[in-house]
Amino acid sequence: MALAKMIMFAFAAASIFSMASAISGTATYYGPPLVPSSCYGYQDKGVMVAAANPALFNNRAACGNRYIIRCTGATNLGVPQPCRNGPITVTIVDLCPGCGANQIDLSQEAFKAIADPNAGRIRIDYTRV
């Protein structure tokens, strides 16, 4: 019984730590086409991909990095509750030169997996895997 309590405590502590280290930002979407990309040219990396803002992209240093993205809410009144399903994991394959700080441009498929595409822009938390 004590071991089970310790495991539960460790899981709860890890969850709190991961939530505390998440970065709050916004997400938009793009696509298709998803290729060519700045990181991989015409190499297909699937549909669960994203383009990073210039600071995160860091002159291609972010290429291949994976992020857990969680929808946290709306940014506009048009779709007041855009979030659906749970978090997703995406791979950075491109640069989003027009993205602001803490903004990630998801592929249309990735955006659709966590939010209503009619929202266009959502609030997110993201964490590097």
Return the percentage of the chain with pLDDT > 70, whole number.
84
Q: Which domain holds residue 68?
A: 23-128
Q: Is 123 part of a structural domain of the chain?
A: yes
Q: Is 12 part of a structural domain of the chain?
A: no
Q: Is 114 part of a structural domain of the chain?
A: yes
- CB contact at 8 A, 66 and 90: yes
Q: Could you tell me the pLDDT band of residue 1, with boundaries at 50, 70 and 90? A: low
Q: Is 90 part of a structural domain of the chain?
A: yes
d(CA 108, CA 119): 12
Q: Is 108 part of a structural domain of the chain?
A: yes
Q: How many domains does the chain have?
A: 1
Q: Could you tell me the pTM of the whole model?
A: 0.82
List, for residues 8-59, the tens digit of each pLDDT value. 444 444 444 444 589 999 999 998 889 899 999 999 999 999 999 999 999 9
| CATH number of the domain where residue 75 is located | 2.40.40.10
Environment class of 124 (CB within 10 Å of its CB; exposed 0-12, middle 13-18, buried 19+): buried
Q: Is 58 part of a structural domain of the chain?
A: yes
Q: Is 110 part of a structural domain of the chain?
A: yes
